[in-house]
Structure formats: C-alpha cells, structure tokens
Amino acid sequence: MQETALVFVVVAILVLLGSAATWLTMEVLFGVGLLCVVLGCVVGFPAGFYYHVVLFRVMRVQGEVPSGWYWNPTRYHSLLSADEYASIRPWFVLGAAGFVFIILGCMLIGLAIMVA
C-alpha cells in the first residue's frame, strides 16, 4: 500500500513540475530549485553523517562492525532491536528527506534550463 502511494506522489510531483514550466518563469524555477538544493544539503548531509555515526556505535556494541558497512547500511537495520532502530530512524529519515530535496531542486533547475 505504501509503495502505491509513493508511486502516486512521484507521478503527481512530475506532473506538477511539468506544468510549472507553463506558469512560472525561468528565474522562479531556478531560484526555488537552488533553494531546495541548499536546504537539502544543509539538512541532509549532517543528518546523514550523524545517522552513520549512530548506526556505527550501535553496531559496535553488538560486536565487530563489518568492513564496508557504510556502502549499504540499511541492510543492517533488521539486526537492530526496536530501541536501537528507534535511535537511528529520525536521522535516517531526515537524511533521506534532504536527499529528496536535493533531487527535487536539481529537477527544478533542469526544468528552468529547459525553459530558457
């Protein structure tokens, strides 16, 4: 059910972005896109970094941390207890939201370039 809702949200965003080119100027699209990228970087990078720090600390308490764990850290979420997962989840979600803002901003900047 969540996957279906996510698909509808992504399609709605793409339709809105496509129609935004008709009623927004290139400058507005570029400015909003740049703002989204900056906001995503300011929020997402520190949150993502701290997520990795907290996850490393939790995994270190459980035992030896596998080498290269940081390339795909989500596979270790299933090994965490509910309390441990609750301690990393806010940072994981905040970092992911920052990534989404960066991608949205890049799409708006690309749209502004295409309009120009």
pLDDT score for 17 = 75
- The residue ranges of every structural domain in the chain are 25-64+72-115
Local mean pLDDT, 10-residue blocks, the chain (116 residues): 82 80 84 95 96 94 87 90 92 94 92 84
Residue 103's closest CA among 19, 18, 13, 25? Answer: 13
Token pair 């939201």 is found at 97
49 backbone dihedrals φ, ψ, rounded to 5°: -65, -45
The structure tokens listed for 61 are 């308490």
The Cα–Cα gap between 68 and 99 comes to 21
Token pair 């905040």 is found at 94
Find out whether 33 and 115 touch, Cβ atoms under 8 Å.
no
